[in-house]
Structure 1
Amino acid sequence: MTAIAVLGSTNMDLVAYVARAPERGETVTGREFRTIPGGKGANQAIAAARAGGEVLMIGAVGDDAYGTRLRAELEHAGVETDLLHTAEGPSGTAHIVVDDTGANAIVVIPGANGTVHTLGHGEMAAIAEADLLLLQLELPLPAVVEGARMAHAQGVRTILTPSPVQPLPDELFDNVDLLIPNEHEAAALSGKTEPHAAAEILLRHVPEVVVTLGSKGCLYAARDSETIHFPAPEVTAVDTTGAGDTFVGALAVALGEGRAVPEALAWASIAAALCVQKPGASTSMPYRSEIDAA
C-alpha cells in the first residue's frame, strides 16, 4: 500500500447553494446551506485514503467544534491524525458559493492552519518515511518549503497543488517533482494563458506538470517529451468543489502503485468525474471500488 503524507490545511466548508452567484453588491436567495469538512489538505488526504492509500495528515485544527468534527471525518476515512495538532482558537473555514452549473467561488479563512509555520521532528520523520508527499498553499509558505525540502532530500516524490496561487520561491520549485495547477493557476505562475505554453514555462522549474482543465480534462508535460492532452469523462456536474483534490489524491495513489502516467491520469480523471456528480467536497469523493467499476 502506498504511504502518502499530506502536509496541508483542514477547513470546515460553509457551502451556500444558489441558482446564480451574486454580483458585487448584490444579494441573492439560496436554496440550501451545508457545513462539510474540507480544506485542500484534508480533501486530498481523504481522496487518497478512499482510493486505497495509507495516508497521514500533518497540520492543525482549532479547539472548537469544527476542529473536533474535522478530525473525526479524517479518521472515519482511514487517515492517521497523530500529527494533526490542536491549536488554540478557531479552525479554518472556507465560505463557498455553488451555482446551478456546479461552478464555485471560495473565500478561505486560515484559522488554525495559519499556526503551522514550521515542522517538528515527528513531522519531518513522517515525511521522510513516506512514498509521496502532497502539498498545497493553504498553510504558511515556510512550512510548505520545509516539508518539500525534507521530502526531496529523502527521495520522497513531492506533488504540489499551487492553490491558492501565489509567487513561489525557487527553493520550493527546486524541491517539487510534480506540479498540478489548474489552468488559471498555471497562467498566473507562467504568465501564459494558453495551457500548453504555460506548461512549457513551468517545466523550466519542475520536472513534470499536470495542468487540470476541468471538463476538458488535463495536460501532462515532462521535460524532453511531448505534451499530452487527456480528455475527461463526460458527466453532468452538480458541484465541482472537490474535483481537483480528488484528482490529486487518486493520482498520488496510482503513481505510488507504479502505474504508467497515462493509466494513472485516466484513473484519477474517473475519480474526479465521480466526485463532481455529488454535492460537497470530502463527502463526494469516491472509494477505490467505485473508481475501478466506473
Structure 2
Amino acid sequence: MASNLQRFSPLLLIEIFIVLGMVRSGASVFQPTPWKLAHATFYGDDSAAETMGGACGYGNLYDSGYGTDTAALSTVLFNNGLACGSCYEMKCVESKWCLANAATITVTATNSCPPNWYQDTNNGGWCNPPREHFDLAKPAFNQLAETVAGIIPINYRRVSCQKTGGIRFKFEGNPNWLLVYVMNVGGSGDVCQMWVKGTNTDWISMSQNWGASYQAFSQLGGQALSFKLQSYTTDQIIILYNVAPANWCNGMTYQADSNFY
C-alpha cells in the first residue's frame, strides 16, 4: 500500500516541505566565518540612548529585542542595509586597554557608520571604505576594553543569530502601501528579498525601502497576510503563512511561528 506521502505529487511535496521549513533553496544552515582582524570604536554614552533607532529601522532597540549589544557597521560591511540583523562575535586583541580575561561578545548590526571624507582612513575616518570597522554601543565596548582607548584592534567573525521565537514584522504605511520592518531574524540574520501574499492575492514581490524594511504598493487591507523571505548570506528561503490576521493594523508588530537557523 502506498504511503501517505506517495499520494501527493512531487511539486506538492516540495511546497509542503517548504512550509515545514525543510527545503531552503539548496542552501545550508548558516555557519560561522573565519576570524578576521578589524577595529572597533564606540558611540553614545552608557545609557545607549544615542544608539536607538539607526539605519536599519529597528526603532527602540530595547522594545525590538536587540538591547545594547549592537554595532554600526562601516560602509563596506553595511552593504546598503543588506547586513542589517547580522551577528558578529568579537574580542579585543593587541591592545593594553583590553580587559583582562574578557570573554568574547556577540553584537547585532543595527546601524550604519557613515564615512568621514574629511579625515584620513587611518586617523579618524575609521568607517571610510575599504575599512571593515565596528562602531559599538558604549555598553558593548565596555565589555571588551577600557573606553579611554578610543579605538581597539579586534578579531571578529560572523556567527549565527540566536533568536527566541519567530521572525517579527512591524507594519507601517497606508491603504495602498504596506511598509514592513523585519526583526528578530535568526540564522544569518539578514534578508535580501521578501514577498507578501494576501488571502486573495498571489505572491507579491516587495522592494527594499531602506535598512531592514520592505514595501509593497498594493491594497492588502482586510486580508490575512503571509510572507516569504530569502536570506542574503545563505539563500535560504522560509515561508510563513498567516502571520497577520485579516484585521491587521499599521503600527502593530506580528510574530511568525518560525525562523531561520
Which has the bigger relative contact order, CA under 8 A and spacing at least 6?
2
What is the TM-score of this pair, normalised by structure 2? 0.26
What is the TM-score of this pair, normalised by structure 1? 0.23
Which structure features the higher share of helix residues?
1
Which structure features the higher share of strand residues?
2
